Amino acid sequence: MALEAAKSQYRQVADLLRAAIEREEYAPGSLLPSESELAAEYGVSRVTINRAVQLLRGEGMVRVLRGRGTAVRAIPPIRRNSNLRYARSSREEEGSRGAFDFELKRLGLKPATKLAQLGQVPAPETARQVLGLEATDTVLIRKREMYASDEPVLLATSYFPWILAEQAGVTETDTGPGGTYSRLAEIGKGPVRFSEDLRVRTPTAAEERFFALAETQQVYEIVHISYLPDGTAIEYREDVLPTHQWVMHFEWNAENDTKSGETER
Amino acid sequence: MALEAAKSQYRQVADLLRAAIEREEYAPGSLLPSESELAAEYGVSRVTINRAVQLLRGEGMVRVLRGRGTAVRAIPPIRRNSNLRYARSSREEEGSRGAFDFELKRLGLKPATKLAQLGQVPAPETARQVLGLEATDTVLIRKREMYASDEPVLLATSYFPWILAEQAGVTETDTGPGGTYSRLAEIGKGPVRFSEDLRVRTPTAAEERFFALAETQQVYEIVHISYLPDGTAIEYREDVLPTHQWVMHFEWNAENDTKSGETER
């Protein structure tokens, strides 16, 4: 039973360290005390401290900075209120450029978006199918790298039918107050229903680098689709987000008894 | 650059193995060839195979059976259609005992539910707050361990105000066709709106054992709340699910311009 007891001990230490970080006893972004200091403080071996820190690393509570030590999580998890974030009043609040701007400001974090790709491209197969496009049709791609107070927290890649994007005037870098959805609404093509498929997966090598993830960390991959009232999909988007940085909130009404929600999309 | 190339190689091998598993070239539940056989087949070192298998293990594509080898994932990821699963027609389809029964049967998997706890208990603090109960009020706890073709895939713990549960007659083991929500609907207390908060976290030791998770695997923790038309919460539930076994689907209508979705719950 010695093994079981040891396991329990490092989990206990991890719980104490996690609670201390949540109470901000160790300041956000600061360095943790050294392993030997922590071992003395908690009255356990350095091996136990090391295992506890590895656990917290996987959770994103701390980050190992090579040659400098172990840094405490700089920003708290962000709550993504899927229902609220796309409401016009949210997207346009104080001139926000869309949902992300809005939710970051609420948390007192500094939003920043870097356009990684913007332009007219052939539609990737998945986007093409969802948007009901022909093989020769093109799409507007808007690929953004998004930061919360300098921490990379989101990679979002949207695809809109090119013709629609041109009509709405969202082919430019700045889509104006309220972002793309407000411009679409202005030409009578504002989305009224959304669907998201969310899974958790291992990051690609590029994602691991961009988010500076530890080896055991994973990402949410969300396929977000926006619909017009008649059910036409007008946006296909893929979001990638480190799991430790986000809490996802959804609300919905019970479906009627008609299995209307059953349509395969 | 040698390190970068090695990393890339094990990821490439993992991609090939994953694709082969998805094509069912390696049958669900069967043992993978040995590391030396795979090394020969893919023309790489055993170290590379080992790293690729570790990656797939973290993803839940394979499982290490001590002393026996590495087994291929037995069941595919389950799609949780949050909108559809609670519709009455779904819950009652072919006498299903609720949402889980319904979605498992759809996939050709065998649902099984084991009641781990059922009874009248003091309300835990979080449930009490959400349900608007007094400290002296009690709740019905329904804690279920749920299996898909013998694989543990879900731990669900529901809390209902005790008085309501008694009225609806859901204090028994079998809640009848359509499950709890159908009984609640029969006394005019059927839920009409749901909210879920979803996060990803390290499993507890007990969860790690129950789901037989590898050390790097994580779980979804979902707080599910069911509401009456007047906004009263009648169920507080915590679901725990291994991330590799589920894909989450949500659909919702755009909020009005009134920030109605902003209510903090």
Tens of pLDDT, residue by residue over A28-62, are 999 999 999 999 999 999 999 999 998 899 888 99
User: CA separation (Å) from A65 to A31, A208, A212, B92, B202?
Assistant: 9, 15, 10, 54, 22
Closest of A195, A172, A8 to residue A97, by C-alpha? A172
Q: Output B158 or A107, whichever has higher pLDDT.
A: B158
Burial of B5 (0-12, 13-18, 19+ CB in 10 A): exposed
Query: What's the rounded Cα separation, in Å, for the pair B73 and A260?
Result: 32
Q: Which of B10, B199, B230 to mutate to test the interface with A (most CBs of A within 10 A)?
A: B199
- Domain end (from B72, B89, B105): B72
Is B54 in the same domain as B162?
A: no
Q: Flag if A197 and B249 touch (Cβ within 8 Å).
A: yes
Cβ–Cβ < 8 Å for B56, B26: no
Closest of A166, A168, A141 to residue A155, by C-alpha? A141
Q: Which H helix or E strand runs over A64?
A: strand A62-65
Chain B residues in contact with A83 (beta carbon < 8 A): 252, 255, 261
Q: Name the one residue in this structure whose structure tokens are 């600061």.
A: A30
**Which of the residues in chain B have pLDDT under 50?**
1-3, 257-265
State the smallest CA–CA distance between residue A194 and chain B in angstroms.
6
pLDDT, one tens digit per residue, over A199-245 is 999 899 899 999 999 878 899 999 999 999 999 999 999 999 999 99
Q: Which of A77, A195, A200 sits opposite B251 (nearest CB)?
A: A195
Phi, psi of B161 (to 5 degrees): -55, 135
Q: Is pLDDT above 70 for A95?
A: no
Which residue in chain B is spatially nearest to A256 when comparing CA positions?
A: B87
H helix intervals, B92-238: 99-106, 125-131, 162-168, 179-186, 205-211
pLDDT, one tens digit per residue, over B104-156 is 888 889 999 999 999 999 999 999 999 999 999 999 999 999 999 999 999 99
Q: Which of B197, B244, B247 sits opposite A247 (nearest CB)?
A: B197
Reduce the DSSP state of residue B259 to 3 states and report it.
coil
State the smallest CA–CA distance between residue A41 and chain B in angstroms.
24
- Domain end (from A29, A53, A72): A72
pLDDT of residue B37: 95
Give the pair of three-digit tokens for residue A153. 């927290």
Spell out a b/e string for B167-193, using b for 16 or more CB atoms within 10 Å of the CB, else e. ebebbeeebbbbbbbbbbbeeebbbee
Angle between helix axes B46-59 and B2-22 (nearest 10 degrees) is 60
pLDDT of residue A1: 38
- Domain end (from B22, B37, B72): B72
State the smallest CA–CA distance between residue A248 and chain B in angstroms.
5
Is B62 in the same domain as B131?
A: no
Q: Which of B77, B192, B262 sits opposite A84 (nearest CB)?
A: B262
Is B134 in the same domain as B149?
A: yes
pLDDT of residue B96: 63
Is A61 in the same domain as A86?
A: no
The total domain count for chain B is 2
Is B175 in the same domain as B252?
A: yes
Q: Which of B7, B251, B261 sits opposite A193 (nearest CB)?
A: B251
A50 residue type, one letter: N
Average pLDDT of chain A is 88
- Find the radius of gyration of the CA atoms of chain B: 22
Cβ–Cβ < 8 Å for A139, A161: yes
Size of interface A-B (CB pairs under 8 A): 151
Give the pair of three-digit tokens for residue A26. 């160790």
Is A243 in the same domain as A174?
A: yes
CATH code: domain of residue B202: 3.40.1410.10
Q: Is pLDDT above 70 for A255?
A: yes
Q: Flag if A259 and B89 touch (Cβ within 8 Å).
A: yes
CATH code: domain of residue A53: 1.10.10.10
Closest of B21, B41, B39 to residue B30, by C-alpha? B21
Q: How confident is the model at residue A96 (pLDDT cuts 50, 70, 90)?
A: low
Q: How confident is the model at residue A264 (pLDDT cuts 50, 70, 90)?
A: very low
Q: Flag if B248 and A194 touch (Cβ within 8 Å).
A: no
pLDDT of residue A83: 87
User: CA separation (Å) from B7 to A54, A213, B1, B180?
Assistant: 21, 15, 10, 50
Give the pair of three-digit tokens for residue A178. 């309220």
State the smallest CA–CA distance between residue A228 and chain B in angstroms.
10
B108: left (phi over 0), alpha (psi -120 to 50) or beta: left
pLDDT of residue A256: 63
Characterize the bridge pairing of strands A233-242 and A219-227. Answer: antiparallel
Closest of B91, A175, B240 to residue B100, by C-alpha? B91
Q: Flag if A82 and B252 touch (Cβ within 8 Å).
A: yes
pLDDT of residue A247: 95
Is B104 in the same domain as B7?
A: no
pLDDT of residue B97: 63
Closest of A68, A56, A67 to residue A30, by C-alpha? A68
Q: Which of B58, B84, B220 sits opposite A255 (nearest CB)?
A: B84
Is A96 in the same domain as A210?
A: yes
Query: What's the rounded Cα separation, in Å, for the pair B215 and A201?
Result: 15
A179 contact partners, CB below 8 Å, separation of at least 6: A91, A96, A97, A98, A99, A101
Q: Which of B11, B84, B252 sits opposite A194 (nearest CB)?
A: B252
State the smallest CA–CA distance between residue B135 and chain A in angstroms.
26
Q: Is pLDDT above 90 for A97?
A: no
In degrees, to the nearest 5, what angle opens at C-alpha B224 toward C-alphas B222 and B226? Answer: 175
State the smallest CA–CA distance between residue B44 and chain A in angstroms.
20
- Any bridge partners for residue B246, and if so which? B78
Q: Is pLDDT above 70 for A258?
A: no
Characterize the bridge pairing of strands A246-253 and A78-81. Answer: parallel
Q: Flag if B259 and A195 touch (Cβ within 8 Å).
A: no
* Residues found in chain A: 265
- Find the radius of gyration of the CA atoms of chain A: 22
Reduce the DSSP state of residue A5 to 3 states and report it.
helix
Closest of A175, A205, A179, A38 to residue A103, by C-alpha? A179
Is A105 in the same domain as A124?
A: yes
Q: Flag if A89 and B258 touch (Cβ within 8 Å).
A: yes
Q: Flag if A195 and B220 touch (Cβ within 8 Å).
A: no
pLDDT of residue A117: 96
- Please give the ipTM for the structure prediction: 0.87
Is B105 in the same domain as B224?
A: yes
Query: What's the rounded Cα separation, in Å, for the pair A232 and B148?
Result: 35
Is B46 in the same domain as B137?
A: no
pLDDT of residue A105: 84
pLDDT, one tens digit per residue, over A173-207 is 888 888 899 899 999 999 999 999 999 998 998 99
Q: Which of A86, A202, A262 sits opposite B254 (nearest CB)?
A: A86
Is A141 in the same domain as A65?
A: no
Extended strands (E) in chain B = 62-65, 69-72, 78-81, 111-122, 138-148, 151-161, 193-201, 219-227, 233-242, 246-253
Domain containing A17 equals 2-72
Cβ–Cβ < 8 Å for A38, A10: no
Q: Which of B7, B215, B255 to mutate to test the interface with A (most CBs of A within 10 A)?
A: B255
Which residue in chain B is spatially nearest to A254 when comparing CA positions?
A: B192
Extended strands (E) in A123-192 = 138-148, 151-161
